[in-house]
Amino acid sequence: MIRVVLVDDHELVRSGFRLILAAQPDIEVAGEASNAEDGLRLIRAQKPDVALIDVHMPGMSGIELTERVQRAGLATQIVILTIVQDAQFPRRLLQSGALGYLTKGCPSEELVQAVRAVAQGRRYLDATVAREMALAAVDGDASPLESLSSRELEVALMLARGLAVNEVANRLHLSAKTVSTYKQRLFEKLGVSHTIALEHVLSSHGLLGESRAQSGKP
């Protein structure tokens, strides 16, 4: 069972998250807090697997709370939720120790997927900001993902997470033909010929957990 706590100053947001997560057979909402100070006390007391933390709260910010959790050596993994989609912002959050980043407008199934991934120690990034994260060089080297457009990287991430072309098309409100064109184009740019190779490319640049890439699943 994945134990989760919610830290957000908006009660309606917490209620929505709680309803989504509590409906999952493998997830338990262990507590809630309306500010970061109470959130830190809650995390210390409950020792949850995952904490969903709003970045903008009165008093201590979500960034500071994340850093305090890290400095305290607590095992709780952090998923930051925010309405902000500034590419520099999530990079700062990941540097502070957050393992996941989602915008509050994400689909409910993506919220659940992110909680499960982060609980296993795997990074999860919102596709809308992943392109800028990919541009961060690995050991100072240019990323091959730099050649992808924002939309191409969104499609790449969804394909690598196991979504079929039709599912990606529905998620992005595009035609299956358009998604197939994006798929062909990004495969050519990255020099890959199948989804398993795509998973390895994304995993090597920190955009996917290694477990899926190593599993050999199509």
pLDDT surpassing 50 at residue 14: yes
* DSSP per position, 122-144: --EE-HHHHHHHHTS-BTTBPPG
Round to whole Å and give the CA distance between 199 and 187: 11
Q: What pLDDT shows up at residue 217? A: 42
Q: What pLDDT shows up at residue 97?
A: 84
Kindly tell me if the per-residue pLDDT of 139 is higher than 70: no
- The confidence score (pLDDT) of residue 59 equals 67
> For 69-127, what is each residue's pLDDT tens digit?
988 999 999 999 877 555 545 565 666 789 998 888 788 999 999 999 999 999 898 87
- The Cα–Cα gap between 13 and 42 comes to 18
> Which pLDDT score, from 0 to 100, does residue 175 have?
95
Instruction: Let me know: does 57 contact 38? Beta carbons within 8 Å.
Output: no
pLDDT of the residue at 48: 98
Domains of the chain with CATH codes: 2-125 (3.40.50.2300), 131-215 (1.10.10.10)
Q: Where do the DSSP E strands lie in the chain? A: 2-7, 27-33, 50-54, 77-82, 100-103, 124-125
Task: Tell me what pLDDT residue 45 has.
Answer: 97
| 172-183 per-position pLDDT tens digit | 788 999 999 999
Residue environment code for 64-79, b if the CB has 16+ CB neighbours within 10 A, otherwise e? ebbbbbeeeebebbbb
pLDDT tens string 19-73: 999 999 999 999 999 999 999 999 999 999 999 998 877 667 787 798 889 889 9
Residue 42 has a pLDDT of: 98
- Provide the percentage of residues in the chain whose pLDDT is more than 90: 48
Q: What is the mean pLDDT of residues 138-158?
A: 69
The reported pLDDT for the residue numbered 215 is: 44
Could you tell me which residues are beta bridge partners of residue 3?
28
Mean pLDDT of 3-8: 97
209: pLDDT strictly greater than 60: no
**Is residue 218 very low, low, confident or very high in pLDDT (cuts 50, 70, 90)?**
very low
Question: How much is the pLDDT for 165?
Answer: 95
Q: CB burial class (10 A; 0-12, 13-18, 19+) of residue 106?
A: middle
